[in-house]
Amino acid sequence: MANTSVYVAVGGAVVLVATSALAIVLKVHFLSSEQVKLAMQIFISLVVLFAALYVVVIKSNATPAQKHWAFGALGTLVGFWLKG
């Protein structure tokens, strides 16, 4: 029987469940608060980025207010990631 590994993300923990013919091993590696913070910053940035790019690039009938929001969001994202 082949060995299989399954990774499951649970909150701030990454759980590795490795199964074989004889044993099931459960290892838990908790992410540090800095890793969780960085992951959330990236996730939220991507959501805002895709929403803004959709309005700017794809949505041809966007109102001026929607385009102003989209360009403002893009500028905010650039500023946030450049400030480092």
Query: Which amino acid, one-letter code, is at 66?
Result: Q
Query: Hey, how many other C-beta atoms are within 10 angstroms of the C-beta on 48?
Result: 16
Which secondary structure element, helix H or strand E, spans residue 22, and what is its range?
A: none
28-78 tens-digit pLDDT: 667 788 988 999 999 999 999 999 999 999 998 999 999 999 999 999 999
What is the Cα gyration radius of the chain? 20
Question: Is 1 a residue whose pLDDT tops 90?
Answer: no
Quote the pLDDT of residue 15. Answer: 53
| Report field, pTM of the whole predicted structure over 0.85 | no
User: In the chain, what are the domain boundaries?
Assistant: 1-31, 33-83
Which secondary structure element, helix H or strand E, spans residue 18, and what is its range?
A: strand 13-19
Q: How far apart are the C-alpha atoms of 51 and 55, rounded to whole Å?
A: 6
